[in-house]
Structure 1
Amino acid sequence: MDSQTISLVRTTFKAVAAVDGGPERLTSSFYATLFTDYPEARDFFPAAMETQRDRLLRALAYVVDRLEDPDTLLPFLAQLGRDHRKYGTQAAHYTAVGLSLIKALRNFAGAEIWTDDVDKAWNDAIGVIASTMIGAADDDTNPAVWGGTVIENRRVLRNLSVIRLKLNQPMDYRAGQYVSVQIPSRPRMWRYMSPANPANRDGIVEFHVRGVTGGWVSPSMVGHTSVGEQWLLGSPLGALGVPANPARDLLMIGCGTGIAPLRAQVLELAEWTTSRRVHLFVGGHHPCDLYDLEALWELQLDNPWLTVTPVTESEDNPWWHVDDFRNAPAGMSTRLTGQIGKVVASLGSWEDRDIQIAGSPSMIQTTKFRLMAGGTPTENIRHDPLY
C-alpha cells in the first residue's frame, strides 16, 4: 500500500474512533450489516457478541496502526488466516466481511468524509488483508483444529486451575505463543490462551486458567472441566518467543496467569545450553496469586542463569485464602511489594535487555509506559496484541 492509501485509511478510522461511542457503534453496525446481507454468516459467531465486538475493534486498531510496518503486519495477518481455518472460512466469507465493513464505515462516516479516494483506499487495504489471510490459510498443511483430551484439572486457587490436555497429534508452536480454545459447554466461544509449557512430541499442553467473574468461558473451564472432556484448539498465534540474538539477556515480566508464555520459554531455555541471563518478575495482587512460584524457584536452583523475583501489590492474602506464603529458599530473591511495573522500572532502565511483558492489557500498558519513562528503548519491549 502506498502512503496516500495508508493515510486515508488511518485518518478515516481515527475520525470514527474520535466520535463519542464511535468504535462500539461501528462494530455493532458492521455485524448488523453482515448478518442482514449475509445471514448464513451468523452461524460462525457465538450467541453473545460482546467479546466478539471488542475483539474486532482491537484487531482493526492493531492493523491500522501497523499499515506502514509490513514486517510486523503481514505475519500477524498470516497467523490469523491460518487460525480462521477452524471456522471453515472460505474466500467468499472474506468478501462478505470486507463489503460489510466498508458499508458500515461509509454509513457511519457520511458523504463528506467518505470520498471516492477513501473508498478506494479502504478497498485496497481490505484486499491486502484478505489476500494475505487467504494465502496463508491455503498454504497451511497443518490441521484446521487440534482435538485435546483433558487429562488433569488441578485447582490451585479458588478461582484458578492448571488444566492439562493430550492432543490428538502434536502441535508445533513456539514457546511464548498462544492458541484459541473452545470447550464443549461453550460452542463458538473461542478464547485465547497461552500454553505454559513448550511444544513436545507427546502432545501435552498445559493451560493456567483463572475464572473471571462474570465471564462466559473461564469460570466453566475452572469449575466444570472434567477428565476425559474434549477441547478444540486453533493454530498457534503471537510473536513472543526466545529472541534469536543470544548476546542480549532477557527481562520477563508476568502477572497472574500471564506468567504462562514466559514460563514456557524458561522451560525451553532450561533444555538448552544458554549463556544469557534471564530475570523473571512474577506478579500478583496477593501472595497466593504467585501460584507457580515454588516451581519457578526449583528452576532457578537448577539453572544459575535464571533469577526469579516475586512481586505483590498487597502484603497479605485475601480472607478466603488460609495458607501461609512460603518464604524464599536460600539464594532466592525476597518478595517485593508494589505495582509490578513501578517496581521493575525502579530497578533500572534495563536498556541492555530484550524485554517481554505478559498479563492483562492494562498491566501491559502500565508496565510498558513506566519502563519507557525510565529510559527503556521502546524497540526493546515486546508483548502480544492487547486483545
Structure 2
Amino acid sequence: MDSRTVALIRTTFKAVAAEDGGSERLSSSFYSILFTDYPAIRDFFPAAMDAQRDRLVHAISYALERLEEPDQLLPFLAQLGRDHRKYGVQPAHYVAVANSLKSAMRQFSGTEMWTDEVDSAWDEALELISNAMISAADKETTPAAWAATVVERREVLRNLAVIRVQLEQPMEYAAGQYISVQVPARPRMWRYLSPANPANTNGEIEFHVRSVLGGWVSPAMVSHTAVGDQWMLGSPLGGLGVPRNTKRKMLMIGCGTGVAPLRAQIMAMAQRRVNPNVHLFVGGHHPCDLYDLQVLSQLAVVNKWLTVTPVTESDENPWWYADSGEPRPELPGLEPRMTGQIGKVVASYGPWSDRDVQIVGSPSMVQTTKFRLMAAGTQAKSIRHDPLF
C-alpha cells in the first residue's frame, strides 16, 4: 500500500474520529448501518453494545496506524482472524462489515472530502484487512474455541479473584499473550484475560480477575463464578514475550492484574538455562493490591537474574480491607517497597537504555508510564504493550 493511499485513509479517519464525540457517532452509525442492511449479523453481538462500540474504534485506529508496518499489522490481523472463528464468522460477514464501515465513514466525511480516490483507498485497506483475517482463519487447525471447567476460585480481595480453569484440550499460547473469555452469566460478551502461567500439557490456566465498577462481565466473574462452571476461551492474542535466545535485558512494569502476563513470562523463562537480567516493577494503589508478592518472592529467590520492586501510591490500605494488624514478615528476594506513581518511580531510575520494556495495566496507566519513560530518555521502539482496547 503506497504512502498516498495510507495518507488518504488516515486523514479521513482522523477528520471523523477527532471531532468532539466523533468516535461515538462513527461507531453508532456503523452498527446501525450494519444491523439494518444485514439484520442476521445482529445475533453475533451482545445485547449491550457499549464496550463493543469503544473496541471497534480502538481496533480500527490501531490497524490504520500500522498500514505501513506489515511486520506488525499482518500478525495482529492473523490473530484476530483466528480469534473470530469463535463467533462462526464467514467471509460474507467481512464484506458486510467493510461495506458498513465505508458507508459510515462516507456519511460523516461529506462529499467534499470523500472523493473517488478516497473511496478506492478505503476499498484497498479494507480488502487487505479482510483478506488477512480470512486467510489466517482458513489455515488454522486448532479449535475455534476451547471449553474449560472452573476448578478453583480464590478470593484475594473483595474485588479480585484468582480463578483456575481446566481445558478440555490443551491450548498452545505464548506466555504474555491474552485470551478472550465468555462466562455462562454473560453470553456473547467476551472479555480479555491474560493467563498468569505458561501453557502446559495439563491444560490448566490461572486467571487474575478484578471487578471493574460498572462493568458487565468482570463483576460476574469475580462474584458469581463457582467451581464447575463452564467457560469458553478464544484463540490467544497479543505479542508480548521474551525471545528464547535474547541477550537484551528486560524491564517489566505491571499494575494490578497486569502482573499476570509478566509473571507468566518469568515462569516460562525460569524453565530455561540462561536468561538476561529482568527488573520487574509491580504496582498498585494500596499495599493490599500487591496480592501476588508471595509467588514473585519465590521466583526471585530461585532466579537470581530477577529483581522485583513493589510500588504503591499509598502506604495505607483502604478502609474496607480487613487486616489482622499483625506485622507481616519481610518476603525474601524482594526490593524494599517504594511509594509513588509507578511510572514516575520507574522513570526516576534513568532512561533504561539497555533494556527492552514491557508495560501492562489499564490504558491510562500504560500511556502515562510510556510517556514518563520516553521523557526520561527511553526510546519508543524499545517499549512494548498490547493494543489498548
Give how far 1:291 is off: 0.2
8 Å CA contact 1:144, 1:234 repeated in 2: yes
The answer (yes or no) to whether the contact 2:298–2:333 under 8 Å persists in 1 is no
Residue 4 of structure 2 is aligned to residue 8 of structure 1: no
Scaled by the length of structure 1, the TM-score of the pair is 0.98
Query: How many residues end up aligned between the 2 structures?
Result: 387
Pairing 1:260–2:265 present: no
Q: What is the CA-CA distance between 1:2 and the residue it aligns to? A: 1.4
Which residue does 2:339 correspond to in 1? 337
Structure 1 residue 348: deviation in Å? 1.5
Determine helix, strand or coil for the equivalent of 1:272.
Answer: coil
CA separation in 2, counterparts of 1:302 and 1:94? 49
Contact 2:300 2:333 in 1 (8 A): no
Q: Pick closer, same or farther for the CA change 1:147–1:11 going to 2, 3 Å.
A: same
CA distance in 2, matches of 1:137, 1:14: 30
What is the aligned partner in structure 1 of residue 75 from structure 2? 75
Deviation at 1:354, TM superposition (A): 1.0
Partner of 2:283: 283
Which of 367, 375, 379 is 1:377 aligned to?
379
Deviation larger for 243-252 or 89-98: 243-252
Distance 2:2 2:92 in 1: 26
**Equivalence for 2:364:** 362
Contact 2:16 2:23 in 1 (8 A): yes
Tell me, yes or no, if the aligned pair for 1:94 and 1:130 is still in contact at 8 Å: yes
Is the alpha carbon distance of 1:328 and 1:347 closer, same or farther for their aligned partners in structure 2, counting shifts above 3 Å?
farther
The one-letter amino acid paired with 2:36 is T
The residue correspondences of 1:9-88 to structure 2 (distance < 5 A) are 9-88=9-88
Change (3 A) 1:236 1:331: closer
Pairs within 5 Å for 1:135-150: 135-150=135-150
1:167-195: CA deviations, max 9, x gaps? 01000000000010000110000001100
Q: CA deviation at 1:152?
A: 0.3
* Paired residue secondary structure (1:296): helix
Structure 1 residue 295, shift from structure 2 partner: 1.1
Correspondence for 1:215: 215
Which amino acid in 2 is paired with 1:382? R
1:154-165 equivalences under 5 Å are 154-165=154-165
What does residue range 192-271 of structure 1 map to in structure 2 within 5 Å?
A: 192-271=192-271
Cα distance in structure 2, aligned partners of 1:322 and 1:154: 16
Q: Percent identity?
A: 67
Secondary structure of 1:14's match? helix
> What is the alpha-carbon root mean square deviation over aligned residues?
1.0
Q: Deviations over 1:119-165 (max 9, x none)?
A: 00001100000000000000000000000000000001011000000
TM-score, normalization by structure 2:
0.98
Q: Deviations over 1:259-305 (max 9, x none)?
A: 11000001111111123111110000000000001110111111111
- Contact 2:209-2:218 within 8 A present in 1 as well: yes
Q: Which runs of 5+ in 1 are unaligned?
A: none
Pair 245,354 (structure 1): closer, same or farther in 2 beyond 3 Å: farther
Q: Distance in 1 between matches of 2:192 and 2:112?
A: 39
In structure 2, do the counterparts of structure 1 residues 344 and 85 end up closer, same or farther at CA, with 3 Å as the change threshold?
same
Aligned-residue offset at 1:245 = 4.8
1:331 Cα deviation after fit: 5.0
Q: Which amino acid aligns with 1:364?
A: V
Cα distance change, pair 317–121 in 1 and its aligned pair in 2 (3 A): same
Alpha-carbon distance, 1:243 to partner? 3.0
SS at 2:165's partner residue? strand
Bigger mean CA deviation after superposition, 57-66 or 235-244: 235-244
For 1:317 and 1:274, locate their aligned partners in 2 and report how far apart those are by CA, in whole Å: 38
> What is the DSSP-based 3-state SS (H/G/I as helix, E as strand, rest coil) of the residue aligned with 2:235?
coil
Aligned counterpart, 2:132? 132
* Distance of 2:92 and 2:305 partners within structure 1: 51
Report the 3-state secondary structure (helix = DSSP H, G, I; strand = E; otherwise coil) of the residue aligned with 2:314.
coil
Q: 1:252 & 1:48 partners in 2: Cα distance?
A: 35
**1:163, 1:209 within 8 Å by CA — same for their partners in 2?**
yes
Residue number in structure 2 paired with 1:302: 302
Q: How does 1:159-178 map to 2 (within 5 A)?
A: 159-178=159-178
Aligned position for 1:106:
106
Look up the equivalent residue of 1:202 and give its one-letter code. Answer: N
Residue pair 1:328, 1:334 contacting (<8 A) in 2 also: no
Deviation at 1:244, TM superposition (A): 4.6
In 1, the alpha carbon distance for the partners of 2:350 and 2:281 equals 14
Residue 124 of structure 1 aligns to a residue in which SS?
Answer: helix
Tell me by how many angstroms 1:327 deviates.
Answer: 4.9
Question: How far off its partner does 1:4 sit?
Answer: 1.5
Letter of the 2:377 partner, please give it.
G
Structure 1 residue 330, shift from structure 2 partner: 4.9
| 329-338 or 282-291, which deviates more | 329-338
- Per-residue deviation at 1:332? 2.7
3-state SS in 2 of match to 1:258: helix
Q: Cα deviations across residues 187-243 of structure 1 (Å, max 9, x unaligned)?
A: 000001100000000000000000111110001101000001000000000000113
Distance 1:24 1:306, change over 3 A: same
Structure 1 residue 326 displacement after superposition: 3.3
